């Protein structure tokens, strides 16, 4: 744990109490089933929406209803959206705040007394980490059985997934030439569908920038792009439509499925496998 | 007559040679190291797919745009300095480039450019035209050359603020990055689509500005004398205004607002000529092409994690040279 994180725990005993909330013997303060849950992170929004009852949720982040960013956006309709301000949280008096991690939130630090139960989720970069945060959230919102069921469903959806990539190279290429590297959810999705991440081959960090020239010279077998960039709407996305890239087949995945470790992981994996098979089919 | 004055055609030939060297260097260097032999192979149609894509789809359009945009900006600077009889006049100082960028931004970020590709240069030209008209109205009859520069700063600042506002209002979460590209200029990742968009505008603008050589010379004697010599001042002003707007509009639509080129180049060229406005028009265009191509080469060669913006390099290249000239020539102006 970082010194900063340690400090937070020492300085705010209530936070430490919270972390125990996920364990079998809940502390006195946190109610068994929270009724006014506030999520202060887009990724936490998706887990809370997937696992809690709608009436339990008192507030989500402002992007929670954006279908291009969240796989659970449809469920978020009608729930108040907060702009990460301390005032709004104060007014709700939540009995559970979920964040990634919640204890580092500037809005919460601005509150005079940190008396709210918090659930700190870690950023999920692998499927196992997704399962772990599903389990943690399910327990914290008072429905552990839903977590178990969701994980079982995801496992069965991934069980029969083919690996059509057959060891070919793919690059996850973002606007302005950013490329996603190893140790990320995208990288794991590539491995799961049988692809090899170009970034790993080139020895690049988790997020690097690769010019068009370098991309052409690297000759990847596939480009994976966010579906939001399928249409040119600014100079950043225009780059991905440069004629120099026209011969590299594309796999397009909505950002809503990949930006967070969420139940939508299985949709992303299945969509990628289908698209690879489709590209191969149209070639032969 | 300056003591450095070269015969007109030898100056043009020397500048053209420099431009050619810059253009060839621009084709040879890039993010990927490709040997000259491989590039020559690709150029002669051998079956090297990677090299031919890099050469023809990436480096060639970029080089052509650097040449054309640089020529346009250099020429616009020379023509505006001649017409306004003000050594600081040029598209970026007078706010024309920024106003064109505002037009371009409006076209792209509000989806108007989807209607037809021509909307982009059209709106950029419109922005430039409005700013120039505003400028001439604000400072046209003023005695002091400072009035014009102040009016230009006002127009330019307004356009920059408008650009930022438009980007912030548009549904684009990456606005900050985009604002920077538009305001500092870049030729990164341009394709032949951009060449076809910009080149016609730049050709029209260049033709309309080069036409004015004799009239600009006559104007150095004063407006009355020029009229006595048979110059139609109103038509000339219209040609200058529209020519600058179309040319700069087309250039900015694909490259953003690149500063300083139009300011530096005529100052560098002037001592090598007889200092008449007509003598610096064509050399400024060629010199501008060379300067911007070299600056764009610098952008690619200087090792930075993110590619430098072109306006940063033109500023670093241009301002010292410009300052030296300013000190040396203070008495002449």
Per-state percent for chain A, helix, strand, coil, to nearest 5: 50, 15, 35
Which of the pair, B62 or B30, is modelled with greater confidence? B62
What local confidence, expressed as pLDDT, does residue B182 receive?
Answer: 87
What local confidence, expressed as pLDDT, does residue B316 receive?
Answer: 85
Question: Burial letters for A63-91: b for 16+ Cβ neighbours within 10 Å, e otherwise?
Answer: bbbeeebbbbbebbeebeebeeeeebbee
Tokens 């070299």 -> residue: B294
Q: Are the beta carbons of A234 and B108 separated by less than 8 Å?
A: yes
What local confidence, expressed as pLDDT, does residue A31 receive?
Answer: 53
Which residues 53-72 of B have a C-beta within 8 angstroms of A?
53-54, 57-59
The pTM for the full model equals 0.82
Which of the pair, A2 or B217, is modelled with greater confidence? B217
Q: In chain B, which residues have their Cβ closer than 8 Å to the Cβ of A175?
A: 174
What local confidence, expressed as pLDDT, does residue B330 receive?
Answer: 63
What local confidence, expressed as pLDDT, does residue B6 receive?
Answer: 64
| DSSP character at residue A176 | G
- Is the pLDDT confidence value at A7 over 70? no
Predicted confidence band of residue B225 (pLDDT cuts 50, 70, 90): confident
Largest CA distance in chain A: 65
| DSSP character at residue A183 | S
Of B30, B59, B191, the CB nearest to A243: B191
**Contact by Cβ (8 Å): A42, A130:** no
Establish, for the pair of chains A and B, how many residue pairs have beta carbons separated by less than 8 Å: 64
What local confidence, expressed as pLDDT, does residue B304 receive?
Answer: 76
How many whole angstroms separate alpha carbon A38 and alpha carbon A167?
43
Of A212, A217, A233, the CB nearest to B189: A212
What local confidence, expressed as pLDDT, does residue A195 receive?
Answer: 96
Examine the predicted complex and report whether its ipTM is higher than 0.90: no
Judge residue A28's burial from the number of C-beta atoms within 10 Å of its C-beta, 0-12 exposed, 13-18 middle, 19 or more buried: exposed
Question: Which residue of chain B is at minimal alpha-carbon distance from A69?
Answer: B173
Of B54, B188, B307, the CB nearest to A217: B54
Q: In chain A, which residues have their Cβ closer than 8 Å to the Cβ of B174?
A: 175-176, 234, 236
Q: Are the beta carbons of B58 and A236 separated by less than 8 Å?
A: no
Question: Which residue of chain B is at minimal alpha-carbon distance from A216?
Answer: B50
Question: Burial letters for B256-279: b for 16+ Cβ neighbours within 10 Å, e otherwise?
Answer: bbbbbbbbbbbbbbbbbbeeebbb
Q: What is the pLDDT of residues B74-110, one digit of tens each?
A: 999 999 999 888 888 889 888 999 999 999 888 887 8
Q: Are the beta carbons of A234 and B58 separated by less than 8 Å?
A: no
Reading the block at residue A33, the tokens are 């089933």
**Contact by Cβ (8 Å): B45, A227:** no
**Contact by Cβ (8 Å): A220, A195:** no
Q: What domains can you pick out in chain A, each with its CATH number?
A: 3-157 (3.40.50.1980), 169-283 (3.40.50.1980)
């Amino acid at each position: 744990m970082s010194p900063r994180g340690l400090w937070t725990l020492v300085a705010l005993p209530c936070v430490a109490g919270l972390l125990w909330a996920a364990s079998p013997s809940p502390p006195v303060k946190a109610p068994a089933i929270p009724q006014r849950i506030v999520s202060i992170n887009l990724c936490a929004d998706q887990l809370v929406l997937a696992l809690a009852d709608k009436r339990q949720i008192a507030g989500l982040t402002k992007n929670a209803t954006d279908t291009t960013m969240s796989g659970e956006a449809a469920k978020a309709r009608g729930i108040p959206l907060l702009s990460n301000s301390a005032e709004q949280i104060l007014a709700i008096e939540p009995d559970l705040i979920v964040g990634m991690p919640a204890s580092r939130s500037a809005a919460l630090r601005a509150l005079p007394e940190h008396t709210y139960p918090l659930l700190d989720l870690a950023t999920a970069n692998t499927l196992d980490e997704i399962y772990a945060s599903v389990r943690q959230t399910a327990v914290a919102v008072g429905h552990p059985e839903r977590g178990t069921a969701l994980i079982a469903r995801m496992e069965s959806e991934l069980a029969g997934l083919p690996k059509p990539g057959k060891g070919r190279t793919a690059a996850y290429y973002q606007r302005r030439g950013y490329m996603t590297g190893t140790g990320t959810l995208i990288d794991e999705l590539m491995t799961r569908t049988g692809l090899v991440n170009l970034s790993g081959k080139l020895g690049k960090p988790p997020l690097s920038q690769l010019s068009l020239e370098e991309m052409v010279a690297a000759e990847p077998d596939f480009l994976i792009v966010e579906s939001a960039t399928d249409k040119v709407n600014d100079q950043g996305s225009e780059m991905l439509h440069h004629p120099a890239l026209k011969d590299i087949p594309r796999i397009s995945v909505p950002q809503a499925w990949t930006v967070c470790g969420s139940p939508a992981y299985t949709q992303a994996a299945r969509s990628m496998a289908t698209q690879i098979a489709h590209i191969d089919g149209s070639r032969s | 007559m300056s003591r450095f004055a070269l015969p007109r055609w030898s100056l043009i030939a020397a500048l053209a040679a420099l431009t050619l060297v810059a253009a060839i260097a621009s084709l040879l260097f890039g993010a990927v190291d490709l040997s000259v032999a491989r590039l020559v192979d690709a150029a002669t149609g051998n079956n090297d797919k990677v090299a031919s894509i890099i050469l023809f789809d990436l480096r060639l359009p970029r080089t052509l745009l650097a040449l054309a945009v640089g020529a346009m900006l250099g020429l616009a600077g020379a023509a505006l300095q001649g017409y306004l009889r003000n050594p600081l006049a040029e598209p970026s100082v007078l706010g024309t480039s920024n106003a064109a960028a505002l037009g371009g931004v409006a076209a792209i970020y509000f989806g108007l450019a989807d209607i037809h590709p021509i909307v982009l240069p059209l709106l950029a030209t419109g922005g430039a035209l409005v700013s120039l008209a505003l400028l001439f109205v604000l400072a046209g009859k003023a005695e002091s050359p400072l009035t014009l520069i102040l009016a230009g700063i006002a127009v330019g600042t307004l356009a920059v603020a408008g650009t930022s506002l438009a980007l912030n209002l548009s549904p684009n979460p990456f606005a900050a990055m985009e604002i920077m590209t538009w305001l500092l200029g870049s030729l990164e990742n341009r394709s032949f689509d951009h060449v076809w968009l910009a080149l016609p505008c730049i050709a029209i603008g260049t033709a309309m500005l080069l036409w004015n050589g004799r009239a600009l010379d006559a104007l150095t004697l004063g407006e009355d004398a020029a009229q006595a010599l048979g110059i139609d001042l109103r038509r000339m002003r219209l040609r200058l205004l529209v020519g600058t707007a179309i040319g700069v509009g087309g250039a900015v639509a694909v490259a953003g607002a690149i500063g300083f080129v139009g300011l530096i180049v005529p100052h560098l060229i002037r001592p090598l000529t007889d200092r008449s406005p007509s003598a610096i028009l064509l050399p400024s265009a060629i010199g501008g092409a060379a300067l911007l191509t070299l600056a764009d080469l610098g952008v690619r060669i200087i090792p930075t994690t993110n590619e430098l913006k072109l306006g940063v390099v033109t500023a670093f290249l241009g301002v010292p040279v410009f300052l030296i000239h300013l000190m040396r020539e203070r008495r002449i102006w």
